[in-house]
Structure 1
Amino acid sequence: MCSEIDEQRSKKGLPTRDIKVCGDRPCHDIASKKERQQNKSSPMEQFRLGVTLDLIKCNPGQFLVIKAKNQLPSCISLENIEKLRERGWAISEQKQQEMIQVISDNRMKNIKLSNDLENFNPTLNITPDEINNQRYLMFEGFGWHQLHNVEITISEESVKESIRTKTNDSGHLNMPWPIPDSVGGKMYHIFASDGIHQLELDMPIAPKR
């Protein structure tokens, strides 16, 4: 068995000495598989799958923090959290608690709204991104009225931006929005409507670096 493993690892350009075997395969391969499984539940992976910040789970011994530059989640060990906050890498504990509370309240509001809609359950996932130094909000939604325009408004006390996209024949929308330089560093109200149904929520938008 070890010679077969040696041969396989040699073909991959990997070292062949001191190989530990677990059952019928190298322990290294099992560990790698476990790492891949853990990566699937990383905070960013959860976020990309649509898990809201207030529901993101960290591994034992780690705690959720929000990155200051893009408002994205990360799981950090307790002894490093304050250091990162002092350096400005993560937002303060108070600001994070306030943000989480707003997101949680909006999530519950949207759950109630969805439950009130008969035979209809629209969703709107909003993911921040940055491409070639341009900030974007990526809007993706399901369950909207088929082949209808959906108008999305992003507003704050001194800002109001409107964008429009059209759903496909299955009620799916997908639209990137380049964030203007003047937008960021505050909580913004997002309102989406296809003329028949609507959703609204509040979310932070990171300032331009």
Structure 2
Amino acid sequence: MTYTFSGFDLSSTDLVTDWRRSLEEIYRGRTMHNYKSGQIVPMYPHEVWVVCRGVVQLNTLHPSGDEVLVGFAVQAMPFGLPLTNLDPYQAIALSDIDLMRFTLNELENSAQLYQGILQHLNRRLQQTESLLALVSNKRVEERLRQILLLLKQEIGIPIDGGTRLTVRLTHQHLASAISSTRVTVTRAMKLLQDEGWLKIDRDRHIILM
């Protein structure tokens, strides 16, 4: 059986390429901020980050202390405190990342920069709607399948026989993403592997078949 992830086309390659080229041309020589996988990215009330390389996981917290995934910021996407009403709001590097930082004043004074932020903020909005839709599915296996298809569009690269997710995801990452438990996700992963729908490579990256 073939499954597709419906609802949006997140990643227009031309859109991402044009935006990145514009940033490089306009802000040549600007400081690039680097964070290692697992590091928390600091955020400030009057500044916005733009992802140049890697993947950032965006979370909030329930009063119980449980993390809730609210999105992934991938190449060219903006994130930051001025773009959310959530409190608390946390950004964690899922891979090694390179970020560029802009103040709100810079955005207001550059029509090109402001337009680029809006375009890629719209991609984030579409992604968030897709995350909300998949969490409503009662079957954990289907929620897992849908989040993996979303990630395939966001961070997948074609390889022989399938698509490899470029970020190494733990079962706990996936459990947080679909509001489940690590044990349940481990069981669902085994089912999908038995179906031949996915496999894990030697570097522990997920490959969707």
Shorter chain as normaliser: what TM range? Answer: 0.3 to 0.5
Higher relative contact order (CA 8 A, sep 6+): 2
Q: Which of these two proteins has the greater Rg computed from alpha carbons?
A: 1
> Which structure dedicates a bigger proportion of its chain to strand?
1
TM-score, L = length of structure 2: 0.33
